[in-house]
Amino acid sequence: MKVKSLEAPKASSLVSEEVERLCEIAEESARKYVMSKVLWREVSDLDITVEAGGEENNLTVNVDVDIRLSPLLKDVDPKRLAEEAVEAAFESVEKFLRETRCHSRR
């Protein structure tokens, strides 16, 4: 299991639909990353949780990826795969926040 948090100052101005979309993008990105590294049938269990919320001028995003792989799959470290999936999720979150800020400045 791998959990990581991101705090983004001044990102709390996102409307609820944007926060929901941000969570969807992060979850989708983590899932795509895992599926790019292993076959679906090699995954015994994949649980991805993304939470976003904040106060005043701060948005906090938490991503938790828990992976259990088939015991037949010996050459992939599930902990490392989870860490890499979390990183992929945060890259997509940061990209979304940059794009959202650019649109809100127009």
Q: What is the phi-psi region of residue 56: left when phi exceeds 0, alpha when psi lies from -120 to 50, beta otherwise? A: left
In angstroms, the Cα distances linking 91 to 40, 44, 48, 69, 106 are 23, 26, 16, 24, 24
pLDDT digits (tens, 9 = 90+) for 15-69: 788 889 999 999 999 999 999 999 999 999 999 999 988 776 678 889 999 999 9
| Residue 90 belongs to domain with CATH number | 3.30.300.100
Strand partners, 68: 45
Q: What is the pLDDT of residues 69-78, one digit of tens each?
A: 999 898 999 9
Structural domain containing residue 42: 2-104
Q: What is 35-56 written as a DSSP string?
A: HHHS-GGGEEEEEEEEEEEEET
User: Is the pLDDT assigned to residue 9 strictly greater than 60?
Assistant: no
Number of independent structural domains in the chain? 1
**pTM over the 0.75 mark:** yes
